């Protein structure tokens, strides 16, 4: 029987990517050949979860964060710039 293979693709911040890494790890424990495809910077997360990590042509995490800051700027009052920077400083 051929091995069952799955690549879980996620993009964004740790809160976006880690749940999908956990899902890939669950597939791996169930016998699948599973891996995580995510932005640059998530190799350690995948390694900690015990799944291979692959980087496709996704935007870098810096670009994702810049986009999120722009989105926030359009929704005044949700986060000020200092809080936004502190939020991202707390995550790798």
| Number of residues in the chain | 92
pLDDT at 78: 54
- The 10s digit of each residue's pLDDT in 53-92 is 887 666 666 766 776 777 666 665 555 566 556 656 655 5
Residue 47: per-residue pLDDT: 92
User: Among 49, 56, 1, which residue's Cα sits nearest to residue 27?
Assistant: 49
Residue 59 to residue 63: CA distance in whole angstroms: 6
Residue 51, both tokens: 């799944």
Joined together, the tokens standing for residue 50 give: 């015990």
């Amino acid at each position: 029987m051929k091995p069952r293979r799955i690549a879980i693709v996620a993009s964004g911040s740790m809160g976006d990517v880690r749940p999908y890494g956990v899902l890939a790890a669950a597939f791996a424990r169930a016998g699948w050949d599973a891996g995580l495809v995510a932005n640059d910077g998530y190799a350690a997360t995948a390694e900690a979860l015990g799944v291979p990590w692959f980087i496709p042509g996704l935007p870098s995490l810096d670009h994702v964060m810049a986009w999120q800051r722009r989105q926030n700027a359009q929704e005044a009052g949700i986060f000020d710039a200092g809080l936004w920077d502190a939020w991202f400083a707390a995550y790798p």
